[in-house]
Structure 1
Amino acid sequence: MGDVGMIPSLSHNRQESLLAAHNLLKELEANESLTDEMKRVLADIDSKLSAMNLISESGPSGPVQTPSREAEFNEAKTRLKSAEEKIMIWEANQSIICESGQETASEYIQAVEDVWGLVEWFRGLCSEGNEIANEIVSQGDAILQAAMSRLEEELEYILVH
Structure 2
Amino acid sequence: MLDLIAMYEAQKAFRNRIDYKGDDRFGELILALQVELGECANELPETFKFWAHKENNLQDALIEYADGLHFILDIGHEIFFEDFDMIYLLSGADKKRPIATQFRYIFALVSKLDKTKSSITFIELLSEYIGLGEMIGFSFEQIEEAFYVKDVINHERQSEGY
Shorter-chain TM-score tier: 0.3 to 0.5
| Higher relative contact order, structure no. (Cα contacts within 8 Å, ≥ 6 residues apart) | 2
> TM-score under structure 2 normalisation?
0.34
TM-score (norm 1): 0.34
Larger Rg: 1
